[in-house]
Amino acid sequence: MAGPIIWDDKQKVTGNKVTVDPITRLEGHGKIEIFLDDKGDVANAYWQVPEVRGFERFCIGRKVTELNQITARLCGVCPGAHHLASTKAIDGCYNTKPTETAFLLRDTFYNAHFVHSHIAHFYALAAPDFVCGPAAPAAERNVLGVVARVGLELGSAVLKTRAEAQKVQAIIGGKPTHPVMGVPGGVTTAITKEQQKEIIGYAENMVEFAKTSYQVFNDVVLANKEYMDIVLNPDLYYNETYHMGLVNDKGQFEIHDGKVRVVNPKGDEHDLYDTFDYLDHIGEAVEPWSYEKFPYLRKPGYKGLVPGENSGMYRASPLSRLNVAKEMPTPLAQEKFLEYKGILKDVGVTGPCQHTLVTHWARIIELLCCAEKCLKDAECPDLTNSDIKQKDIQAGGRGVGCVEAPRGTLTHDYTCDENGIVTACNLVVGTTNNNGPICMDVAKVAKALIHNYEVSPGLLNMVEMAFRAYDPCNSCATHSLPGQMPLTAVIRNSDGSVYDTVTRN
Amino acid sequence: MGFFDKLFKKEDKKEKKAAEKEAAAAAPVAASADETIGLPAADLGELLPGAPPGGKFKLAIYWAAACGGCDVSLLDTNERVLTIGDMADIVMWPIAADGKEKDIEAMEDGAILVSIISGAVRNSENEHMVKLLRQKSKVVVCYGTCACFGGSPALANLVPGEGKEILEYVYQKTPTTANFQADYHADAPVVPQTSFQAPEGELTLPVFYDTVKTLDQVIDVDYYVPGCPPLQESISYLLKAVVDFAYNGVPLPPKGTEIGVTTKTMCEECPRKKENLRIEHIYEPHEIDVKPDVCLMDQGILCLGPATVGGCGARCTKVGQPCRGCYGPTSDVQEHGASVFTAIASMFPIREDDGIIGEDEIVKIMSEVKDPLGYFYAFTLGKSLIKKAVVEGGQ
């Protein structure tokens, strides 16, 4: 196995604006604008999201029970998260909760969803940066490049396990992309013993595969000193922010149903609140240069895109969830969680981990935990029970549905009248939580790496790695395929005309 | 027999076609044995082949206003997706590869063989990109429900006050933003601007349009593949058409063809038994114990199956949810919602010999359908003649 390629030759550019505009998707599209000063250093960098579709407004007037299908279309990459958060909000609008069996089926579904999403992210998106190296030729920096280095066997296991996680979602939800099972107080359909057996088989494979994935991460990243120096460099992928995530009543990691816990940059508990009360705790700022909002903690408040304890910037990501959880609820994940905390402590991380790239490591521990939970749920004899929905429920009122989406805390908030017609709708979406911190990380890395007009394709990729760690919907499944993946930076004169371009081939 | 054997034995083509017809005719029977009723997947062999005889062709895959589910559906072809790179140079695929606008601009007109475009046209950037891709492509495939019919985002066309109202709500009236504006910008709210002068230079955003448009309302398109997202069976027919053309010189289907659908309605694929009962009450799935084998419409659950084209394999009705019509109307119908309405109206007990209820009763039953426009046009409002909301009762 050839070693990863971490650094490449820089190229001198002229002009004062570098546009990185191959960035793809969060409700569509994204771009990074890097402004250079007179010395050719980075004056500032902006992560922009140029699309909005207005779901919050056009959901008004719809039947509330349709919203878990409509809002699933917010994102085809994590429709399972939207479907579940929405279904929980609908439960609230009907003043009900799912039956025990329905909860179990939703939970099985959702853990499988996490497994599928985290596999896609780690192998298709993150692994190329580490296994092949940030400066490896773009044509190699994809899942095929990863497979070429780690072996075809693992490559087919990736495809197989992801496909099986999709199948679990299809068995319970009808379709993996845009599932349909959620109804107020339950799910539409019970599953058979045969289907349960099938799910157990898939879940057993998931656990094995997750164990392998942890080993892969260990061998490729943790064992590589050069990477760990980058990962732990406080001048690069590092910002001091608050962290948010759901926890269960024992304070353990939770994705489906719990309270929101927030820790401050020192690691102290800043907040622990019921998801219904989220408006008292978070707000969403608007900046004139992006269609994506910037959530913040109302205490200490919005101070702009700056780090620190006095700024309301918080993150909600795998890194955050492992920062707020006291432990993991499953044995194998707990073992790795302790190992993770131990290693971080050895390198001086005592409070919450603020090293953005550690998010990848946290994601692998979550993968293991969700695979274990999926198996535990699937083996439960009650899974095939017939009490799949509540009876005699009535629409009218407000419901707040909150889950951990793979990319962060996701909140759906609806109000409907007694006819079930929606009168108000608010959505605080997983990736959106991290919008401010992503901007901050992108700007910080750009400032640290680009000096004296010198830019290289590898450096630009390292700027991209700042946002990729968050797996914003912009990037999930991104960069996963064969074919060319050039990145072009457009260098503009101050009047906006194109002066030069740097292309990563 | 491998894929190449099948493809390059041209002399066998007639036989092959006959065999395909037979297979298609036999499929429903064969399929029902393993419980998959509906469109059988096209036979693509084990994997897609290596480069075509004439060398790789250029392929672009683009999303306009989309959720990415269409792209995930292409990724869900699993190992097949890995071989697309052998067949074609992917010149653009934002979710998976990085070809960019300027690379496309530099190409000769028609240089791209196929552009697969998902998503509706929601803003100026979407419009610009799809027009550019049209100019550079021989074939444009309108992929997925948003591109074909507007999809869920086209429900925005029901909002009175259009773009302005939508942006106002999103950035000022949702409670999280309302708190922000009140706490920090009580006098003049901060909202996104298409051009903003930051201290370091200008930052721009696309213009948000008033109306969600389908792809064929903005550019000329050659083929349609509906579905939210298109299912693997449907995708297999698109892949087969492209592969047959590129490797074997088989002419592409006639322009305007809807690929990956059946000639019948979704009901024909649904395993539930239809007894054509009359509706006397309308229910939602959570309100009754839904019988697993009986037609949902017979149980009073409004299902768009009778007016929706087949091809999806009835994935939703199999798990007890009615069809919302994501595959769109059957071929000769434009007004999907009106077509559903007709189908439902025919199920009311109003024949002379029924003699059960009068007009008042029908109105009463139908008034149980809240938000009929949103329900009957859940996916196809972009294509409907109903372009603007009818403001009634305050929505």
Whole-number pLDDT of residue B338: 85
Q: Do B199 and B238 fall within a single domain?
A: no
Residue A183 pLDDT level (bands cut at 50, 70, 90): very high
A391 to chain B, minimum CA–CA distance in Å? 7
- pLDDT score recorded for residue A4: 62
Whole-angstrom Cα distance, residue A313 to residue A305? 7
B254 in a structural domain = no
Confidence label for A373 from pLDDT (cuts 50, 70 and 90)? very high
Distance from CA of B149 to the nearest CA of A (A): 14
Q: Is the pLDDT of residue B394 over 50?
A: no
pLDDT recorded at residue A343 = 94
Its pTM stands at 0.89
State residue B100's pLDDT score. Answer: 66
* C-beta atoms of A175 and B292 within 8 A: no
* 3 state DSSP class of B141: strand
**Would you say the C-alpha torsion B181, B182, B183, B186 has a positive or negative sign?**
positive
Count of other CB atoms within 10 angstroms of residue A225: 8
Rounded mean pLDDT, B215-237: 95
A window 132-191, beta carbon within 8 A of B: 138, 143-144, 156, 159, 162-163, 166, 170, 172-178, 180-181, 183-186, 188-189
All residues of chain B having their beta carbon less than 8 Å from the beta carbon of residue A424 are 175
A288, A482, A488: residue with CB nearest B196: A288
**What is the separation, in whole angstroms, between the first and last Cα of chain B?**
60
Does residue B13 register a pLDDT over 60? no
Q: Please tell me the distance in Å from A341's CA to the nearest CA on chain B.
A: 34
Task: Give the mean pLDDT of A368-387.
Answer: 98
B393 within domain boundaries: no
Query: What pLDDT was estimated at residue B387?
Result: 61
ipTM value for the complex? 0.89
* Alpha helices (H) in chain B, listed in sequence order: 3-8, 13-33, 69-75, 79-87, 101-105, 124-136, 145-149, 162-168, 175-184, 232-248, 315-318, 336-345, 359-366, 372-376
Do residues B200 and B230 share a domain?
no
Residues B198 and B118 in one domain: no
Instruction: Give how many domains chain B has, as a whole number.
Output: 3
Nearest in space to A150 (alpha carbons), one of A88, A212, A193, A89: A212
Q: How is residue B296 annotated by DSSP? A: T
**Cβ–Cβ contacts within 10 Å for residue B281, how many?**
11
Chain B residue with minimal CA distance to A175? B315
pLDDT at B349: 60
Q: Is the pLDDT of residue B132 over 70?
A: yes
Q: Examine residue B395 and state whether it is found in any structural domain, yes or no.
A: no
- Mutation site, B294, B321, B386, interface A, largest A CB count within 10 A: B321
Q: A-chain residues within 8 Å CB-CB of B151?
A: 73
At B152 the pLDDT is: 95
Q: Where are the domains of chain A?
A: 11-51+451-504
Give residue for tokens 């649904």: B270
Whether residues A279 and B176 touch (CB distance < 8 A) is answered with yes
Any domain includes B177: yes
- Number of H helices and number of E strands within chain A? 16, 18
Q: Which of A481, A486, A487 sits opposite B93 (nearest CB)?
A: A481
Minimal Cβ distance to A53: which of B122, B229, B371: B122
Check CB contact under 8 Å for B285 and A188: yes
Torsion of CA B147, B151, B152, B153, to 10 degrees: 40
Q: What is the mean pLDDT of residues A137-156?
A: 71
The predicted-structure confidence for A425-466, as pLDDT tens digits, reads as follows 999 988 889 999 999 998 998 899 888 888 777 777 788 788
Residue B260 lies inside a defined structural domain of this protein: no
Q: How far is A478 from chain B (nearest CA, A)?
A: 4
Do B241 and B338 share a structural domain? Answer: no
Q: pLDDT confidence of A375, banded at 50, 70, 90?
A: very high
In whole angstroms, give the CA distance from residue A298 to residue B183. 9
Q: Find the CB nearest B89 among A17, A483, A487.
A: A483
pLDDT, averaged across chain A:
86
Cβ density class B196-231: b for 16+ within 10 Å, e for less = beeebbbbbbbebbebbbbbbebbebbbbbbbbbbb
CB B201 within 8 A of CB A490: no
* Residue pLDDT, tens place only, A5-15: 666 666 676 66
B9 with B128, same domain? yes
The CATH number covering residue B49 comes to: 3.40.50.700
Contact B180 A283 (CB under 8 A): yes
Per-residue pLDDT averaged across A70-86, rounded?
Answer: 92
Distance CA A244, CA A263 (A): 7
- Say if CB B87 and CB B61 are below 8 A apart: no
- Select from A43, A455, A306 the least CA-distant residue to B200: A43
Q: Is pLDDT of A1 > 80?
A: no
Q: What is the mean pLDDT of residues A54-83?
A: 93
- For B266-290, the pLDDT digits (tens) are 999 999 998 877 777 889 999 999 9
Sort strands B137-143 and B223-225 into parallel, antiparallel or unpaired.
parallel
pLDDT at B2 over 80: no
List, for residues A278-330, the tens digit of each pLDDT value: 999 999 999 999 998 999 999 999 999 999 999 999 999 999 999 999 999 99
Please give the pLDDT value at position B153.
93
- pLDDT, average across residues A394-418: 96
Region for B385 from its dihedrals, namely left if φ exceeds 0, alpha if ψ lies in -120 to 50, beta otherwise: alpha
| Whether pLDDT at A400 is above 80 | yes
SS3 category, A254:
coil
Whether B229 and B268 have beta carbons less than 8 Å apart is answered as no
Tell me how far apart the alpha carbons of residues B337 and B325 are, in angstroms, rounded to a whole number.
Answer: 9
A464 touches chain B (CB under 8 A): no
Q: What is the mean pLDDT of residues A79-98?
A: 97
User: Are B21 and B119 members of one domain?
Assistant: yes
Q: Which residue of A has its CA nearest to B157?
A: A58
Instruction: Give the span between the Cα atoms of B373 and B384, in whole angstroms.
Output: 11
> Which of B68, B180, B198 comes nearest A285 by C-beta?
B180
The pLDDT of residue A468 is 76
Residues A438 and B32: beta-carbon distance below 8 Å:
no
CB-closest option in A46, A56, A298 to B170:
A56
- The answer as to whether B387 is a domain residue is no
- So what's the pLDDT on residue A7? 64
Contact A202, A168 (CB under 8 A): yes
- Nearest-angstrom CA–CA distance, B62 and B93: 6
pLDDT given at position B211: 94
pLDDT of res. A299: 96
Indicate yes or no: CB of B73 within 8 angstroms of CB of A482.
Answer: no
A326-330 contacts at long range (C-beta below 8 A, 24 or more positions apart): A326/A247, A326/A250, A326/A251, A326/A252, A327/A250, A327/A251, A327/A252, A327/A253, A328/A252, A328/A253, A328/A365, A328/A369, A329/A248, A329/A250, A329/A252, A329/A253, A329/A254, A329/A369, A329/A373, A330/A368, A330/A369, A330/A372, A330/A373, A330/A376
pLDDT, tens digit, 9 for 90 and up, residues A316-338? 999 999 999 999 999 999 999 99
CA atoms of A175 and A2, how far apart (whole Å): 40
Residues B152-161: what's their mean pLDDT? 93
Q: What's the pLDDT at A24? A: 38
Rounded mean pLDDT, A116-143: 76
Position A462: which residue type? Answer: M
Q: Are B124 and B189 in the same domain?
A: no
Q: Tell me whether residue B111 is in a domain.
A: yes
Nearest to A83 by CA among A10, A172, A196, A21: A172
In a domain, B390, yes or no: no
Q: With an 8 Å Cβ cutoff, are A175 and B378 in contact?
A: no
The predicted structure's pLDDT at residue A239: 94
Contacts of B380 in chain A (CB under 8 A): none
DSSP A37-55: -TTSSEEEEEEE------H
Among the residue ranges A259-273, B177-191, B204-218, B347-361, the one predicted with the least confidence is: B347-361
Q: Rounded distance, CA A86 to CA A416, Å?
A: 13
How many CB atoms are closer than 10 A to CB B386? Answer: 15
- pLDDT tens, residue by residue, B23-77: 443 333 333 333 445 778 877 766 566 788 888 999 999 989 888 889 888 877 7
Query: Within 10 Å of residue B256's Cβ, how many Cβ atoms?
Result: 11
Q: Tell me the per-residue pLDDT of B304-354, one tens digit each, with 9 for 90 and over.
A: 999 999 999 999 999 999 999 999 998 877 788 888 878 777 776 655 565
pLDDT beyond 80 at A219: yes
Minimum CA–CA partner of B172 in chain A: A286
Structural domain boundaries, residue B192: 164-207
Nearest by CB to residue A485, choosing from B69, B98, B119, is B98
Q: What is the mean pLDDT of chain B?
A: 82
What pLDDT was estimated at residue A472?
59
The verdict on a CB contact (< 8 Å) between B171 and A286 is yes
Q: What is the mean pLDDT of residues A2-30?
A: 59
Percent of chain A past pLDDT 70, that is, above it, reads: 86
Query: Looking at residue B168, what is its pLDDT?
Result: 96
CB A71 within 8 A of CB A59: yes
Output Rg (C-alpha) for chain B, integer angstroms.
Answer: 24
Q: Which residues of chain B make contact with A389, given a CB cutoff of 8 A?
A: 286
Chain B: give the shortest CA distance to residue A349, in Å: 33
Q: Which helix (H) or strand (E) holds A342?
A: helix A331-346
Q: Is the pLDDT of residue A413 over 90?
A: yes
- The candidate with the shortest Cα–Cα distance to A504, out of A489, A482, A483, is A489
